Amino acid sequence: MSGQWWQRGVVYQVYPRSFGDSNGDGVGDLQGIRQRLDHLEWLDVDAVWLSPVFRSPMADFGYDVADYCDVDPLFGTLDDLDTLIADLHRRGMRLLLDFVPNHTSDQYPWFIDARSSRTAEHRDWYIWRDPAAGGGPPNAWQSAFLGSAWEWDGQTGQYYFHSFLKEQPDLDWTNPEVRAAMTDVLRFWFRRGVDGFRVDVVNLLAKGPELADATHPDPHDRWGDEPAIHPLMRELRVVADEFDDRVLIGEIWLPPAELVTFYGKELDELHLPFNFGLLELEQWQAQTVHEAIVAYEKALPPKAWPNWVLGNHDRRRLATRVGHAQARVAAMLLLTLRGTPTLYYGDEIGMVEVELPREVWRDPQGLRGGQTRDGCRTPMRWDDSALAGFTTGTPWLPLDQPAGTDVATRRDDPASMLSLYRALLRLRRAEPALNLGDWHDLGRAGSAIAYMRISGEPGGRRFLVCLNLAGEPSPLPEAATSLRGEIVVSTLPTQGRARFEGRRDLAADEGLVIRLD
Out of 98, 200, 353, 406, the active site residue is: 200
* Residue 23 C-beta: closest distance to ligand NOJ, Å: 24
Residue 63 is a binding residue for ligand NOJ (CB under 6 A): yes
**Exposure string for 391-426, b = 16+ CB within 10 A, e = fewer:** beeebbbebebeeebbbbbbbeeeebbbbbbbbbbe
- Locate all alpha helices (DSSP H) within 356-468, ordered by sequence: 364-367, 407-411, 417-430, 432-435
Does 164 bind ligand NOJ (CB under 6 A)? Our answer is yes
Known catalytic membership, residue 226: no
Phi, psi of 30 (to 5 degrees): -65, -40
Phi and psi (nearest 5°) for 470?
-150, 165
Single-letter residue type at 37: L
The distance of closest approach from Cβ of residue 391 to ligand NOJ in the complex, given in angstroms and rounded to an integer, is 22
Question: How many other C-beta atoms lie within 10 A of the C-beta of residue 181?
Answer: 15
Q: Choose between 254 and 470: whose C-beta lies nearer to ligand NOJ.
A: 254
- Of residues 251 and 348, the one with the C-beta less far from ligand NOJ: 251
CB of 205 to ligand NOJ, least distance (A): 12
Considering the candidates 177, 213, 225, 242, report the single residue annotated as catalytic.
242
Contact 452, 443 (CB under 8 A): no
Residue 51 or 405 with smaller CB distance to ligand NOJ: 51
Q: If binding is defined by CB under 6 A, does position 100 make contact with ligand NOJ?
A: yes
Q: Which of residues 398-457 bind ligand NOJ (CB under 6 A)?
A: none
| Contacting residue, 200, 353, 374, 510, with ligand NOJ by CB under 6 A | 200
CA 304 from chain centre, in angstroms, equals: 18
* Contact call for residue 106 and ligand NOJ (CB under 6 A): no
Q: What is the DSSP string of 122-188?
A: TGGGB-EEPPPTTSS-SS--B-TTSSBSEEEETTTTEEEE-SS-TTSPBB-TTSHHHHHHHHHHHHH
Number of residues that bind ligand NOJ (CB under 6 A): 9
The residues in 8-27 that bind ligand NOJ, with binding defined as CB under 6 A, are: none
Residue 217: strand, helix, or coil: coil
Pairing of strands 247-250, 196-199: parallel
The number of beta carbons lying within 10 Å of the beta carbon of residue 257 is 13
CB of 163 to ligand NOJ, least distance (A): 8
- Tell whether residue 97 is a contact of ligand NOJ (CB under 6 A): no
Contact flag: residue 314 with ligand NOJ (CB under 6 A):
yes
Instruction: Give the shortest CB-117-to-ligand NOJ separation in angstroms.
Output: 27
CB closer to ligand NOJ, 291 vs 314: 314
Query: Could you confirm whether 200 is annotated as catalytic?
Result: yes
Q: Which of residues 248-267 bind ligand NOJ (CB under 6 A)?
A: 251
Give min distance, CB of 99 to ligand NOJ, in A: 11
Q: Does 221 bind ligand NOJ (CB under 6 A)?
A: no
- Helix, strand, or coil (residue 283): coil
Q: CB count, 10 Å around CB of 331?
A: 27
Distance, in Å, from the CA atom of 46 to the CA atom of 92, rounded to the nearest integer, reads: 7
- Cβ proximity to ligand NOJ: between 344 and 421 the closer is 344
Q: Output the residue with the shortest Cβ distance to ligand NOJ.
A: 63
150 binds ligand NOJ (CB under 6 A): no
**Is 201 among the residues that bind ligand NOJ (CB under 6 A)?**
yes
Whichever of 63 and 75 has its CB closer to ligand NOJ, that residue is 63
d(CA 455, CA 282) in angstroms, rounded, equals 33
The catalytic residues are: 200, 242
> What is the binding site for ligand NOJ (CB under 6 A)?
60, 63, 100, 164, 200-201, 251, 313-314
